[in-house]
Chains A and B, each alone.
Chain A
Amino acid sequence: MLRIEKVCKVYANGVRAVKDLDLTVSPGEVYVLLGANGAGKTTTLMMCLGFLNPTSGRILINDIDVRKDPIAAKLHVAYVSENVQLEPNFTAIQNLEFFARVGGRPDVTRKEISDALLRVGLPGDTHNRRCGGFSKGMRQRLGIAIAVIRGTDLVLLDEPTSGLDPRGGQEFISLLKVLRGEGKAILMTTHDVFRAKELADHLGIMVSGELAVSRTRGELLNEDIENLYLEHVETSVGGKAA
């Protein structure tokens, strides 16, 4: 479970990246964070991972304050970046083995790794291939496989489907649904409004560092997400008023 409580981030040059952010992601829930470029989505993720320190407020992962005990907090988090780049000279299995071992599973077996790879849709013949030659889709799956093998409660994803073809994107979303079904809490940032609509249990739209819109799935049924998104994004960019 992820709780972001009144978090603000002001950079050294005075730029306010995040303002009073309140957000909760419960187990078995997918929270999709939409927003224009520079809205503060990635900054939020970086704060959850302890790469940046919030100027005020706190972030709790399974009730552990990220700032106070980052190691304990990160035991429960897996991260999938926008462009997953692992060690190119290692095979998929070797890469996964390494991340599992340093990520809190020193006793992981090769079979478990293979299973995880199969689960994310990577066929058996790719397991012993060097990652240097993987396509973008394969690399994103590898990223998710790390989350799977580590068995963490929380998964953070930063625009995971950007650059994926429609089929690849669809498969990826199905994977996330499965993980949701297993009780994981998932926070995902994206531009992809369609996928958001399909996947989100909770939807947030960030505009200039603030959570301008927050809707549950039920509330979303009666709304047009696209218009909602464009409305708020256009306002923030200084375009036509809603």
Chain B
Amino acid sequence: MDSPTPRPSVFSQFRECVSKEILAGILSHRYTLVLILTVVAALSVTVVRTHVYRNQVRQYHEGSQAWRRTMGSVSFAWQSTGLGLSFEKAPEPLAIFAFGLENELTRSVNFCEYYPDRAGLRKLGATSFRYFSQIDITGVIFFGYSLLALMLVFDAVSAGRERGTIRILLAGPIRRTTVILSKIFAGLVTLAIPLCLAWGLSIGYAMAVSGHVFTGGELARLGCMVAVSLVYVGAIFALGLAASCRANSSNSSLMLVLFGWLLLVLFLPAGAKAICDIVYPIPSFASVEEDTQATQAAVFDDRLTTQIADEILREQPDVSPERMQELIQKRIADRARNAERDRENKMRSNVALFGKLLRVSPAWSYLSVSTSLAGTGAADYLKFLDDVRLFRSEFEAASEEQKRVADASIHHPHAFYGEGTPFSPDRWPSFRYARAPVTRLVDAVSVDCAWIVGAMFLFLLIAVVGFVRAEV
């Protein structure tokens, strides 16, 4: 017999298999189609988003200028609330890449009675077209690329098995683990290429055309968004590979993959919403309104007024009668808002639970991470509402102060209309809103990221075990 042939090095076999897989993957027609489509979709969507961003910036400037002009002629703070207050929150440039809830965040929030409810005017109706008219590159990756990637991967192993190619390979002195690991590595690399291209072109376009100079922090966030999208695609790839390894045929693999995708991307949010509505049912607007009005009507109820008056006297025994009247009114108004506040708290719990339930799907975790990084996520929205509330109370306090000052100098209440102390803009409180700082962001985002990575490893484990144990 000849001298024993040296065993082939595992690393060189791995390297060979990886380069073969990558080459075979790239040479297929499917891949070319997916590459072109992804890049075109991502770029065109970014073009649209950049254009929309520029429009929003223009409108924002127009709007705030118009507001300042009109506010210049306001004689009293409380009259200004008749007009509507605009906030100083400019459109978010990172929303070009992950639009999220930006619609809810950018627009001015108005304290106004004189024009129709914002619900109809703000967006193009409360129609079902709202989100998908706001598609961005995150949406393309989350929805489109994930499905396309699955179409590339679903028969990675099953096709080879059906055709007998795998048998020929495994007949040689190569371990199964080497084969499957090389497939994993090659698959991840192959899928990363269109993604990186798409991101590169999109970021380049946005930087060139949006008219916004991206700061270091924003670029870092963008980098993280790219990284997370790579991990997400990795998880999707792992799902496809697992299906391919476990299924008996390419057809069943396809069904598994479609089911999995539909479940993770489409079905889960519907289920999550139903669960949230059961756990935290939201009182309806009608019931809130009824309660509010009932409380307000209690103004005419002497018993209630006396009760409140007693309370106030106990707290401030030396209060003046005019001040007492004021305080009574205030407290009643406050109570009237209880129903609203209660509803809002329930709504917040509902939103929080909903966000947590959605995490079950790595797809939605990805969306959540992306939007959080862009500053347009659910947490940012809730924070925004908190800041608006704070601003409102500050504004009301300042205008109360103004009224008091004005009152002191006026004998006749209706002289308000004619003359009065102007509530000059430099006395208005400013709206303070900033994106969550990176440290807090990391906390918020790490759980979601961990879940996506976890999902990826879980599916990869299923794939590897399935492949190694199968009888070819």
Contact = CB atoms under 8 A, between A and B. Distances in A.
Interface of A: 49, 51-52, 62, 71-79, 81-87, 89-90, 98-99, 101-104, 106, 143, 146, 150, 153, 156
A106 B9 contact: yes
A176 B2 CA distance: 21
B16 A101 contact: yes
Contacts of B171: 49, 74, 77-79, 156
A71 B5 contact: no
Contact of B172 (A83, A86, A103): A103
Interface in B338-370: none
Most buried by A among B5, B9, B28, B172: B172
Most buried by A among B2, B28, B163, B171: B171
B172 A51 contact: no
Contact of A104 (B5, B20, B27): B5
A102 B472 contact: no
- Helix, strand, loop or mixed for chain A's interface? loop
A104 B16 contact: no
Given A87-B165, A146-B168, A102 B8 contact: yes
B141 to A, nearest CB: 27
Interface residues of B, number: 30
B168 A89 contact: no
Given A87-B24, A89-B24, A102 B164 contact: no
B28 A86 contact: no
B288 to A, nearest CB: 64
A87 B187 CA distance: 16
A104 to B, nearest CB: 5
A93 to B, nearest CB: 13
Interface of B: 1-2, 5-9, 12-13, 16-17, 20, 23-24, 27-28, 163-165, 167-175, 471-472
B24 A90 contact: yes
Contact of B167 (A76, A79, A150): A79
A81 B471 contact: no
B157 to A, nearest CB: 14
Nearest to B12: A106
A103 B471 contact: no
B173 A75 contact: yes
Contacts of B163: 85
17 contacts: A71-B175, A79-B168, A81-B164, A86-B165, A87-B165, A90-B23, A90-B27, A98-B16, A101-B13, A101-B16, A102-B13, A103-B173, A106-B12, A106-B16, A143-B168, A146-B168, A156-B171
A102 B167 contact: no
Which 8 A-B residue pairings sit nearest by Cβ, starting from the closest? Answer: A79-B171, A89-B27, A103-B172, A74-B173, A85-B163, A75-B173, A101-B16, A104-B8
Given A71-B173, A79-B171, A104-B172, A62 B1 contact: yes
B20 A98 contact: yes
B314 to A, nearest CB: 84
Contacts of B471: 51-52
A106 B5 CA distance: 12
A81 B24 contact: no
A50 to B, nearest CB: 8
B7 A86 contact: no
Contacts of B12: 101, 106
A89 B164 CA distance: 16
B8 A51 contact: no
A153 B6 CA distance: 14
